[in-house]
């Protein structure tokens, strides 16, 4: 079991119904419990609407719980997740101007940054519930990076996904200085190629040690800005879901001045996003 308890802030909107169906599907997939959070007044009309909504999706009291609370949405959702030991929180992104670009509202941004558990952002919730066929995952050589990749692997296996692509982004220290000092584009390109080969070798060893067993596993090393390159690559190959390890909860001063990796991905989501936390 990847996730023991799934959380979802339930609403009465069309997107709310689609997200509820996705949450129900994932509950069945992971054989997990489901915690539904409704921020608002518990009144007879609302209770009746809620019952109809849950009945439509086929949710009863079996392995599910409904929590009603009033207050500021993001604070309520975060507190309930902590109180109920939720380890995966599902939220939705909104499509902007009917283009294939998605933006994150203030509540979802707060949930992603401050959630005590992993967060799954669904970019295009549908009434048929979202299925993921092309998995992508960014690689970090850290303990959380290992957890993130094993989570992506197990998720992909349960989904019977077509492929899992592991993406390692890298930069070359001092490359700009080399270009400035030598003025040689040939020397610069040779250095980049040599560094990329070294990164590919490290990545292959790392993946082999993790013993991942998803259907088809691919690896790729991308030179460039972290977050930016992986987002563009996932968009190019029409990935369904990108799995990333969570950034530090409190970013350093450097990260506040220069955007942290995750900010590039959030700015224009290439697909649904799973942020894995410990």
Domains of the chain: 1-127 (3.40.50.620), 131-278 (3.40.50.620)
Angstrom distance (rounded) from CA 182 to CA 180: 6
Tell whether the model's pLDDT for residue 253 goes beyond 60.
no
- CB neighbourhood size of 151 (10 A): 19
Tell whether the model's pLDDT for residue 123 goes beyond 90.
no
Tell whether the model's pLDDT for residue 99 goes beyond 50.
no
Angstrom distance (rounded) from CA 149 to CA 117: 16
Q: Out of 23-32, 78-87, 141-150, 220-229, which region has the weakest mean confidence (pLDDT)?
A: 220-229
Q: Report the predicted TM-score, pTM, of the whole model to 2 decimal places.
A: 0.87
For residue 265, give Cα distances in angstroms to 145, 233, 240: 17, 11, 14
Instruction: Out of 77-81, 112-116, 168-172, 259-263, give the one with best mean pLDDT.
Output: 77-81
Q: Could you give the percent of the chain with pLDDT greater than 90?
A: 56
- CB neighbourhood size of 83 (10 A): 11
Name the pairing type of β-strands 118-122 and 88-92.
parallel
HSE-up (13 A, CA, CB side) for residue 172: 21
């Amino acid at each position: 079991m990847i996730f023991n308890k799934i959380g979802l802030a339930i609403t009465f909107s069309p997107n709310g119904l689609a997200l509820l169906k996705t949450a129900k599907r994932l509950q069945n997939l992971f054989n997990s419990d489901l915690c539904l959070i409704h921020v608002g007044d518990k009144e007879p009309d609302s209770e009746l609407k809620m019952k109809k909504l849950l009945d439509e999706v086929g949710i009863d009291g079996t392995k599910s719980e409904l929590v009603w609370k009033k207050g500021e949405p993001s604070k309520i959702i975060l507190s309930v997740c902590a109180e109920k030991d939720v380890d995966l929180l599902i939220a939705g992104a909104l499509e902007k101007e009917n283009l294939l670009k998605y933006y994150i509202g203030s509540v979802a941004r707060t949930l992603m940054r401050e959630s005590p558990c992993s967060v799954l952002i669904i970019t295009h919730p549908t009434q048929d519930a979202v299925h993921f066929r092309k998995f992508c995952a960014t690689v970090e050589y850290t303990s959380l990076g290992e957890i993130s990749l094993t989570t992506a692997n197990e998720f992909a296996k349960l989904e019977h996904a077509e492929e899992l692509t592991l993406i390692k982004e890298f930069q070359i220290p001092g490359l700009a200085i080399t270009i400035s000092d030598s003025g040689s584009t040939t020397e610069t390109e040779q250095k980049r190629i040599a560094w990329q080969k070294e990164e590919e070798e490290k990545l292959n060893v790392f993946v082999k040690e993790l013993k991942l067993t998803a259907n088809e596993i691919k690896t790729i090393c991308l030179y460039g800005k972290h977050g930016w390159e992986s987002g563009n690559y996932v968009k190019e190959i029409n990935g369904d879901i990108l799995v990333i390890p969570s950034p530090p909860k409190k970013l350093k001063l450097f990260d506040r001045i220069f955007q942290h990796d995750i900010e590039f991905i959030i700015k224009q989501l290439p697909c649904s996003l799973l942020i894995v936390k410990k």
